[in-house]
């Protein structure tokens, strides 16, 4: 299995690292010597310092015997040309492309059918905008995502001390809430991921991951003492592509939106594009501007400039001014472990979400999604139960689930089934599992699926 990745940025690095650790033959092409050296020193891959859209470079890299080409540079043009050339040289290679500019969107289907025959187009920024929108509405949630085509959601929330469930044991959930009880997949306490059992207690300050049907989200959150209040006003710092798209969506939802952008030309462009949104020209970390604009009164502050440090600073500043709900864009994965200690928890990362959508897209077989949480310490796995595996057609209590793994729920014909000891998984069911990193391997064995790629 040979994979060529064009672009050694955050996206390229993270994908290469995942694939190399799964013993794939990976070649990374990038023009930037420093980025390339960093990669070649820390990963077992081959590197080429050159332009990935250059046909000669692609031939030298062995595109003809390559299974997948991932064009994930920050430049849409480079990515497209690389695919175009790859399509001419080696039509059988699968091509995945990251395209960020929205203006290409109407042509995505034609790109797939006509030249350059791209197999998958990934636009993580659209996804990120959607994630930000979801996060805005759920004040306590720090992570939101979809399973089963959006029918089921997973949510990560930080538990307040006045939450009604604080101090409860999981075993007491069932008598109290009946079938509406939340399906808790993981408890994160003091930097430790706990796969819960019946007698685990929930404490205030815990970070809980749970799964629920999308329709019942509001109801379930209420159990935790979180009431969804539609936001009235939002402040966006950073008027880049994500900022622009988010502002447009918010405008549509009649939310009072302000957007701060430091580049004057960009401000002019934004104000041409928007009707109601207030476009402010200024620096995101300017405290005076914050006070002037009464930032403390905003329901939510979203800092999504291109600069991680500015974003962190802005969020801290906003928190200081009394804004509870802040959403921060962070790209450097090395920052994630530090964030909880400074109180920044709602984080979005277009690049990392690109990584997970690309990995999901090229995963083979019966694993539908595989989402890492909490710095890759644990994983949500959505899979289809295979007839050949040991987990089907027998009650759960007779199964030997690996330590550190839990079956969160079963989805059969669009219905969520809360698993109990007597539940039986039928072949073809979708199952959602949660596992600590060290238990993933054993879980794969149990499911008789490999987290492999095509």
Partner 1 sequence: MRWQFVASIIGILLVFLGLSMVAPLLVSLYYQDPSRDCFIRSIGITMLAGLVLIILSRKQSRDDYINQKEGMTTVALAWTAIGIFGALPFYFCPEFTNFTDAFFESVSGFTTTGSSVMTNIEGTTKSLLFWRSLIQWLGGMGIIVLSLAILPFLGVGGIQLYKAEVPSPVPDKLTPRLSDSAKILWVLYAVITLVEIIFLLGGGMSLFESTCHAFTTMPTGGFSPKNASIAHYNSAYFDYVIAIFMILAGINFSLHYQLLRGETLAFWKDTECRFFLGLTLGITLLVTWDIYGSVYTSFKEAFRFASFQVTSIITTTGFATADYEKFPGLSQVLLFIAMFIGASAGSTGGGMKCARIIVCFKYCYRELFKIIHPRSIRHVKINNMVIPDEVLRSIMGFLALYIALFILSSILLACMGVDMMTSFGAVAACIGNIGPGFGTVGPTENFAHLPVMGKWLLAWCMLLGRLEIYTVIILFVPEFWKK
**Interface with partner 1 (CB under 8 A):** 2, 20-21, 23-27, 33, 40-47
3-state secondary structure at position 81: helix
* Closer by beta carbon to partner 1, 23 or else 415: 23
If 0-12 CB within 10 Å is exposed, 13-18 middle and 19+ buried, where does residue 272 land?
A: exposed
* Closer by beta carbon to partner 1, 1 or else 417: 1
Residue 381 pairs with which residues in a beta bridge? 370, 433
CB 326 within 8 A of CB 318: yes
Q: To the nearest whole angstrom, how small is the minimum distance from the Cβ of residue 45 to partner 1?
A: 5
* Closer by beta carbon to partner 1, 36 or else 407: 36
Provide the strand spans (E) within 224-276: 233-237, 256-261
448: left (phi > 0), else alpha (psi -120 to 50), else beta?
left
If one counts every other C-beta atom within 10 angstroms of the C-beta of residue 60, the result is 13
Q: To the nearest whole angstrom, how small is the minimum distance from the Cβ of residue 84 to partner 1?
A: 24
Q: To the nearest whole angstrom, how small is the minimum distance from the Cβ of residue 51 to partner 1?
A: 14
Q: To the nearest whole angstrom, how small is the minimum distance from the Cβ of residue 67 to partner 1?
A: 12
Taking the C-alpha atoms of residue 305 and residue 144, their distance in angstroms, rounded to an integer, is: 21
* Closer by beta carbon to partner 1, 80 or else 362: 362
Q: To the nearest whole angstrom, how small is the minimum distance from the Cβ of residue 327 to partner 1?
A: 32
* Closer by beta carbon to partner 1, 27 or else 381: 27
CB 105 within 8 A of CB 40: no
Taking the C-alpha atoms of residue 364 and residue 352, their distance in angstroms, rounded to an integer, is: 20
Taking the C-alpha atoms of residue 157 and residue 138, their distance in angstroms, rounded to an integer, is: 9
Q: To the nearest whole angstrom, how small is the minimum distance from the Cβ of residue 26 to partner 1?
A: 5
* Closer by beta carbon to partner 1, 61 or else 185: 61
């Amino acid at each position: 299995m040979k994979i060529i990745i064009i672009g050694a940025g955050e996206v390229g690095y993270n994908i290469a690292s995942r694939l190399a650790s799964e013993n794939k033959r990976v070649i990374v092409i990038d023009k930037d010597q420093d980025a390339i050296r960093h990669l070649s020193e820390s990963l077992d891959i081959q590197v080429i310092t050159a332009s990935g859209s250059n046909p000669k470079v692609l031939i030298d890299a062995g595109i003809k015997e390559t299974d997948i080409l991932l064009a994930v540079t920050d430049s849409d043009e480079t990515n497209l040309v690389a695919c175009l050339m790859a399509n001419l040289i080696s039509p059988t290679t699968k091509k995945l492309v990251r395209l960020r500019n929205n203006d290409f969107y109407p042509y995505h289907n034609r790109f797939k059918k006509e030249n350059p025959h791209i197999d998958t187009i990934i636009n993580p920024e659209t996804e990120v905008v959607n994630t930000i929108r979801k996060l805005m509405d759920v004040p306590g949630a720090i992570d939101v995502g979809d399973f089963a085509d959006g029918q089921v959601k997973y949510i990560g929330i930080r538990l307040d001390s006045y939450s009604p469930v604080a101090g409860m044991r999981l075993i007491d959930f069932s008598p109290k809430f009946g079938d509406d009880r939340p399906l808790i997949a993981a408890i994160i306490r003091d930097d430790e991921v706990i796969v819960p059992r019946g007698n685990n207690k929930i404490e205030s300050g815990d970070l809980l991951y749970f799964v629920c049907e999308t329709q019942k989200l509001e109801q379930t959150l209420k159990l935790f003492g979180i009431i969804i209040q539609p936001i009235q006003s939002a402040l966006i710092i950073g008027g880049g592509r994500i900022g622009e798209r988010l502002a447009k969506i918010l405008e549509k939802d009649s939310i009072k939106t302000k957007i701060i952008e430091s580049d004057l030309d960009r401000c002019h462009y934004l104000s041409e594009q928007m009707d109601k949104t207030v476009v402010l020209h200024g620096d995101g970390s300017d405290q005076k501007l914050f006070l002037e604009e009464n930032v403390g009164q905003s329901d939510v502050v979203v800092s999504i400039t291109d600069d991680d440090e500015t974003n962190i600073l802005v969020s801290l500043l906003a928190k200081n001014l009394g804004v509870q709900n802040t959403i921060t864009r962070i790209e450097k994965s090395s920052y994630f472990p530090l964030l909880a200690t400074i109180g920044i928890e709602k984080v979005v990362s277009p690049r990392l979400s690109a990584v997970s959508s690309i990995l999901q897209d090229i995963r083979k077989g019966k694993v539908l999604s595989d989402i890492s949480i909490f710095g890759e310490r644990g994983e949500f796995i959505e899979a289809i139960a295979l007839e050949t595996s040991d987990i089907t057609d027998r009650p759960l209590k007779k199964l030997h689930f690996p330590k550190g793994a839990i079956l969160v729920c079963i989805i059969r014909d669009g219905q969520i089934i809360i698993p109990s000891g007597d539940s039986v998984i039928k072949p073809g069911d979708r199952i959602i599992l949660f596992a600590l990193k060290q238990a993933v391997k054993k879980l794969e064995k149990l499911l008789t699926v490999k987290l492999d790629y095509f």
